[in-house]
Amino acid sequence: MPYLPLLLFAFLYAGAALAWDLPWLVAGAYVVTSLSCFVAYAIDKSAARKGGWRTPERTLLLLGLVGGWPGGLLAQQWLRHKSTKRSFQRLFWMTVAANVAGFVYLSSRMAGA
């Protein structure tokens, strides 16, 4: 069930791409930001284990907001990082909702341009 949001977004993205003929650059941006977000979670997890400098939660959330949330969600599941902290999860899902809403809005605007 933790992967359901990724599946739903994949269907939403595919529908938007078909309906509005999105450029490949949009998909590329999601891939790059998702990879960046995953790496940021991995670095933070490593630092947490070693007692080193931590990546601020604000940075992780901002990366998710700009499109990296799929990578953040995968990192939470695969690395078991930030997946149980309720305050972070609440903000994380708010950034996911904001990103998806922004994606739909901007994609529909691109169709009218």
Calculate the average pLDDT of the chain: 94
pLDDT in tens, 62-91: 999 999 999 999 999 999 999 899 999 999
Cβ atoms of 3 and 77 within 8 Å: the answer is yes
Cβ atoms of 29 and 67 within 8 Å: the answer is yes
Task: Output DSSP code: residue 85.
Answer: -
Provide the residue ranges of all domains of the chain, joining segments of one domain with +.
4-112
H helices of 1-113, in order, are 4-20, 24-50, 57-63, 69-78, 86-112
What's the pTM?
0.92
